[in-house]
Amino acid sequence: MEYALKERIGKPELFIGRKEELAFFLKWIDDIKQEKSKSTAMLARRKNGKTAIMERLFNITFHKNDGVIPFYYEIKESPMWVGDFCKEFFLTFIYQYIAFKSRNPEYLAPEEKDNFDKVIDIAKKENLAYLTGFIESVAHAYLHENLDILWNMVRDIPRTIAARRGEFIVQMIDEFQFLNSMIYRDKGLKEPADRMAGGYLGAAESKIAPLLVSGSWVGWLMNLLIMMLPARFKYRPLENMSEDEAIEMVFKYSQFFEAPVTDETAYLIAQLSEGSPFYISAILRSEYPGKNLTGVEGLAQTLEFETLSDRGEIKSTWMEYVATALNRVNDKNAKNIVLYLCKNRDREVTRKELLDKLHLQMTDAELENRLKALVKADIIKQGSSNFDYRGVQDNIFDKVFRGVYQKEIDHFEPGEKIFDPEQIKEEYQKTLNEQKAAYYKLQGKYNYHKGYYAEYAIVDQLMYHGHEKNALLKSLTHNLPPGFGFCEYRSVWKYTAVVEYGRGLSVDILARAKSPGDYSIIGEVKNRDTKKFSREEAVAFLEKFERIKEIENLSPVLGFIFSRKGFVKEAEDYMIEKGIAYTDDEQWLEV
């Protein structure tokens, strides 16, 4: 697939998992053509993957070219005069629209992105002269600083063009909550334009140009949508990744960032991170000088560094978040409240308990207002009623917050021990030991004695040892074509085209050969011990093989299947007939 918009995640293959979310939003985008999609808000904290999802949605929609025009804009967390904001917002849309209609992605990164005359010339050049009237109207309002008219125009232009041209547009606006706080009516940036979001009251109801908005400050965004845009949006929380996706991310980032892990430590990282892509990335990319993620002790030390050291990315990111939130709340008791809820995060806490235990000198109504502010700032959670609250359900945030603030807060109980960083280290060690026991129990239950996930062992085998072990691997594998050799590969990983070309198009291995003429490999791995590989499975694999071969334009390319339990006779006959290589030799798993 061509990635028209450069994604901030870096190399496209670093986008891991999120199959369920991508499938949901791509169906939502496809449903726009039937005018069935309602404006939706994606809710997730910072670095949990929402921007990556929006950028990938843009690229898939742009690539598919199937009747919906994508528009993506991120509202920056920096003050901006409303006139300049409107100009940038409008020209970003126009350039993305031209890029889509002309099929020229170079317009997504124009050389002169703030020049009205230049974009008029481009529109005419690409036979899109009907855009010139819109551009001239916006330019006139901008130059004469008719700010209300300007905002009304640029906000409505996507749906206006869609209506006039009989088209469909998806508007993806990232960090939507900053629309009311970072845009100013005056050039001196003294007067916030704090009603900007309310302008979408009508636009958000559009079925031909609906909005997909997101925000890192979940409580803040929710409050804005409820107060200014009631009943205009559906909400879609972005949860942490599933266990299998988290494991996949650990192995992929381990390979990409050259931070080796074992089956055991990969499992531990996935479990301890609770599937958070931010935590997984931070651990694998940690700058801890003694980083060694191949053993439990080294993993524990890396976690301690990330949680307690000012150089840890996890700590520094959370503290930026917390400092901003506490500054907004601006209450001396805020840290005490958050810490108490952290210490009791396994249950809900009432306002009465907080008043009593923390000896707060305020009324219940005053405490409720402060708690609402903390909920809005995403530092605590509302409980099952308006009277109940609880800490953030995140064991790593809990340790970061305690590591920074607990010493400076009075003890909650008589005789309570002053905070000691060793306490957090002991907690990490205890958790890792518990997860290690769970890993070995799982390993025994499923008899994964050759590796927790066999596909990752084979990925590692091909990527790092395939060329040097060519003779051995060939001897372990049946039905190889004449002249075939395991070679050096540019990349080896799981492959998913799931949502680009229909759900379910994925294989365990895609190894891309470095040199022209060498064979790439499309492979499937079955590590089960209860069922042999069937003919029906071989037929299904060949169908996927042919589709991926065409999509990725791979030639020459070999189909390959590993099945630890072996193959039924009919499957072997079919694979021999169709030229698919196969093996059940467990030496493939010995890296």
Q: What's the rounded Cα separation, in Å, for the pair 317 and 183?
A: 24
Give pLDDT, residue 338. Answer: 86
Per the CB < 8 A criterion, the answer to whether 177 and 217 are in contact is: yes
Q: How do residues 259-311 score in pLDDT, each as one tens digit?
A: 999 888 999 999 999 999 999 999 999 999 989 999 999 999 999 999 999 99
Counted residue by residue, the chain has a size of 591
- Average pLDDT of the chain, as a whole number: 89
The percentage of the chain sitting over the pLDDT mark of 70, rounded to a whole number, equals 94
Digit-coded pLDDT (tens) for 475-501:
999 999 999 999 999 989 888 775 555
CB atoms within 10 A of CB 82: 21
- Determine the Cα–Cα distance for residues 63 and 65; give it in Å rounded to an integer: 5
Averaged pLDDT for residues 75-104: 97
pLDDT digits (tens, 9 = 90+) for 528-566: 777 899 999 999 999 999 999 988 889 999 999 999 899
d(CA 261, CA 250): 8
Task: Tell me the C-alpha distance between 392 and 325, whole Å.
Answer: 14
- pTM comes to 0.86
Structural domains of the chain, ranges and CATH numbers in brackets? 12-237 (3.40.50.300), 315-412 (1.10.10.10), 454-589 (3.40.1350.10)
Mean pLDDT in residue range 205-232 = 90
pLDDT of res. 450: 44
Examine the pLDDT at 222 and tell me if it is beyond 90. Answer: no
What number is the average pLDDT over the span 26-31? Answer: 95
Distances (CA, A) of 554 to 184, 328, 462, 489, 547: 52, 54, 17, 13, 11
Whether residue 240 has pLDDT greater than 80:
yes
Tokens of 101: 């209609």
Distance of CA 546 to the CA centre of its chain: 29
Beta carbons of 144 and 136 less than 8 angstroms apart = no
Do 377 and 329 meet the contact criterion of CB atoms below 8 Å apart? yes
Residue 408 has a pLDDT of 62
Mean pLDDT on 9-21? 86
Average pLDDT over residues 111-128: 94
Quick one: what percent of the chain has pLDDT higher than 90?
61
Nearest Cα neighbor of 168 from 111, 197, 210 is: 210
Distance CA 359, CA 344 (A): 17
Give the pLDDT score at 448. 44
CA–CA separation, 449 and 266 (whole Å):
16
The two most distant CA atoms of the chain are separated, in Å, by 83
3-class secondary-structure state, position 169? strand
**β-pair type (349-350, 388-391):** antiparallel
The pLDDT of residue 340: 87
Q: Do the Cβ atoms of 466 and 258 come closer than 8 Å?
A: no
* pLDDT over 60 at 452, yes or no: no
The residues, any chain, with a CB within 8 Å of residue 34's CB and separated by 6 or more, are none
- pLDDT (tens digit per residue) in 143-161: 999 999 999 999 999 999 9
Residues 300-354: pLDDT tens digits? Answer: 999 999 999 999 999 998 888 788 777 777 667 888 888 888 888 789 999 999 9
According to the model, what pLDDT value does residue 451 have?
A: 42
* Of residues 133 and 113, more confidently modeled: 133
Q: Which tokens sit at 305?
A: 């560094």
Q: What is the pLDDT of residue 443?
A: 65
279, two tokens: 């935590």
Give the helix ranges, DSSP H, for 145-295: 147-165, 200-203, 218-228, 243-256, 263-272, 277-284
